[in-house]
């Protein structure tokens, strides 16, 4: 596959340039325990709520600060929305690797979950 970094990712897995992966994401099914949600989101929910985990979302540092991370997140999110037409999921969860990643996801509306994982964030 030879995709250019300025074109949208079409397969949901990776973008390449000259045979080098410059961006990718992975999506997996996930369960959120109601007690880790803020009260207003967990109210009237079952104890275990289906979700999708963005297990990995990465962009080569050479391509940071160009809006490509947001485009990659939007691509992942659109695929999650399409998947929820078939499989139930109420939330999208990420496990931010560090404070920079936490700020990135906060910028796009993700909120911290009430759990022991300092960088675990979710979006309704």
Judged by DSSP in three states, 88 sits in coil
CB under 8 Å to 114, separation ≥6 — which residues?
Answer: 35, 36, 37, 38
> For residue 42, how far is the Cα from the chain centroid?
20
Question: From the candidates 24, 105, 108, 110, which is the catalytic residue?
Answer: 105
Active site residue 105: yes
Helices of type H across 7-98: 39-42, 68-83
Active site residues: 105
């Amino acid at each position: 596959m030879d995709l250019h970094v300025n074109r949208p990712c079409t397969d949901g897995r990776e973008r390449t340039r000259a045979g080098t992966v410059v961006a990718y994401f992975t999506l997996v099914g996930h369960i959120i325990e109601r007690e880790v949600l803020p009260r207003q989101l967990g109210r009237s929910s079952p104890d275990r709520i289906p979700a999708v985990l963005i297990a990995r979302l990465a962009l080569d540092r050479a391509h940071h600060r160009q809006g490509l991370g947001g485009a990659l997140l939007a691509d992942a999110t659109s695929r999650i929305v399409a998947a929820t037409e078939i499989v139930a999921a109420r939330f999208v969860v990420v496990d931010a690797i560090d404070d920079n990643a936490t700020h990135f996801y906060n910028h796009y509306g993700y909120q911290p979950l009430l759990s022991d994982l300092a960088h675990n964030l979710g979006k309704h």
